[in-house]
Every structure is written in structure tokens, then in C-alpha cells.
Amino acid sequence: MQLTYLEAIRQGLWEEMERDPSVFLLGEDIGVYGGAFKVTAGLLDRFGPERVVDTPISESAIVGAAIGASYMGMRPVAEMQFADFITCGFDQIVNFAAKCRYRWGAPAPIVVRAPSGGGIHGGPFHSQNPEAWFVHTPGLKVAAPSTAYDAKGLIKSAIRDNDPVIFFEHKGLYRRIKDEVPAGDYTVPLGKAKVFREGSDLSVITYGAMVHAANDAADELSKEGVSMEIVDLRTLLPIDEETVLASVRKTSKAIVLHEATLTGGVGGEISARISEKAFEYLDGPVVRLAAPDTPVPYSLTLEEAFLPNSAKLLEKARWLLNY
């Protein structure tokens, strides 16, 4: 069936709650209101207030309660209303949940859902892509799906995983992206990238909303006889290095693309791995394309200038192809 990205996440949550009574949801306005973006609409009516818990406006309390519940055999899914607000629960995620297995062997099977990204004119406090903070934290897993199929399969895998998973959902994809999603149960493995589009002349390594920007650029380049390969990381921690390197060894040219700001971003890590482990295959420098190192602008015009897009990718791609 055809589902939007948003509906696929809701269906994944619903199915896991049906399958496993230890799964429950908690977050701000997720019950009666159905969530700020309506991802959890209808779940309160089906599962009741003990499993769809409206919380106070305190991300630290939400994450702390989720960790505690996980120690008691539950599998909580905590929603941050916007990914930006995850900073209020940051200490409990990176200094507690991420280190429990290492310190005393205790799993912390929590999922923290984080609606992220720009393009909705939310300004600097409602539009960030903070994934790099968590990719730098051993003990966490970090997912960032780009399609409805992957969103459903990855949320189910995240809920079943015994480690804490930060699950980034790009707000701009919620209702814009729709694809075929099987009606039956399936999962998408954490830690496994996919080749979103086969190509032979240039590799673009990306994730989230930028997968679709890359695909638009690939359509344009195909008119010029250029074949662009797109690798969708899907999971940012652990990174599927094997799939990335296989693509670069095939095409010999690589662009790493992400919406988050450039400095200290995931793109730097991927670029370094390509340079270290596939240098002899490269026919040009590894190129990064990301947002500039500023807060996300509120102004429509400035936000459009700030965000990476297919036009900016085409410019980088043509430069690298002619290198």
C-alpha cells in the first residue's frame, strides 16, 4: 500500500505496540492532541493512557522516565516534539543511557524520536539537524530514514533493539514523501545502508531529506549522460562503511551531502573514511556539501539560501566531474 512517511512511522509504532505489550509511548501532546505533527494520532484511543502517556514539558523527565522504565522490562518510545529540544535531555542520553551497557551490562532499550530538519520555516529553535552530537557518542545507535518504507522498517528495528536508538524523522518528509509499504510485518536492519540509485560516474553519500535532493540532481545529470549513484546511509551510527566504500571504488568520485551544518558534521567522518580506505580509487577530492555554519534562518528567503538543494549539488557534481 502507498503510505506517507508520517503514516509509515505511525503504522510501525502501532504494530509494535500490538505485538509487544512492553512497548509504550511518552512525550508532550502525543496522546489527546495526537502529536505536534499528528504522528501518534489515534494511538491513545486504541492503547489507552497507560501506554500513550502525555508528559509535562520536560525533556529531561521524559528521557529519564524512559530509561527507568527500560530497566523494568519496558520498551519506551519517547518523543521530542522537535529535535532541537533534545538538548534538554542530552545529559541523560549521552552520559547515562549510552553508557549503561558498558558500565554494568544493563541494556537500555529506549527509542528517542526526534523530528528534525528545515524547510518548514521554523527558525533556529525548530529546524536543526543535531545528529552529529549523537554519532559522536559510543553506545547509541542513530537512524535517519529517507523513505516511508525505511521509516517503518527502521522504527520497528529500533524498538526491538536493546540499545538506545535516536530516531531522526525529517519534518519536511512527513507528508511530502509517499511510497510502497508492505502491509505485513517487516524490519529494516540498523547499520545497513542501501544504494538508493545505481550509477557509475559519481557517488553521492547522503541520508534523510537530502536523498531526494540528490535524486533530483541525478535526474538532471542523466540528461547530460552522467550516471550518479546515491548511497542512502539510513543509519548514521553504526555507519555502513562497506557499502560506502564499494560505491566509491566503483565510481572513483564522491560527494558527501547532508542538511546539517558543515563543521563537525557526519560528512567529515565519512570523507575521512573514504580518504583513508579508498584513496587509491579516487579521481578527485572528496567533496562535502552541507549547510553553512550559522543557525537556521527564520526568513523564507534566507532559509532557502541556507539549505543544501539539488541546484547546489549539481554545481558541486559538475565541478568534480570535470576535475
**Cβ atoms of residues 234 and 143 within 8 Å:** yes
CA–CA dist 28, 59 (Å, integer): 9
Q: How far apart are CA 213 and CA 280, in angstroms?
A: 29
Grid cell for residue 286:
572528496
Alpha carbon distance 133, 111 (integer Å): 16
Q: Are 224 and 258 in contact (CB under 8 A)?
A: no
Number of H helices, E strands in the chain: 12, 14
Cell numbers given for 13: 509504532
Single out the residue of 115, 152, 148, 120 nearest to residue 38, CA to CA.
115
Active-site annotation holder among 121, 126, 136, 212: 126
* Contact between residue 207 and residue 233 where contact means Cβ atoms under 8 Å apart: yes
Instruction: Give pairs for 47-54: CB < 8 Å, separation 24+.
Output: 47/17, 50/24, 51/17, 51/23, 51/24, 51/25, 52/24, 52/25, 53/24, 53/25, 53/26, 53/27, 54/27, 54/28, 54/29, 54/30
Q: Is there a catalytic annotation at residue 136? A: no
Residues marked as catalytic: 126
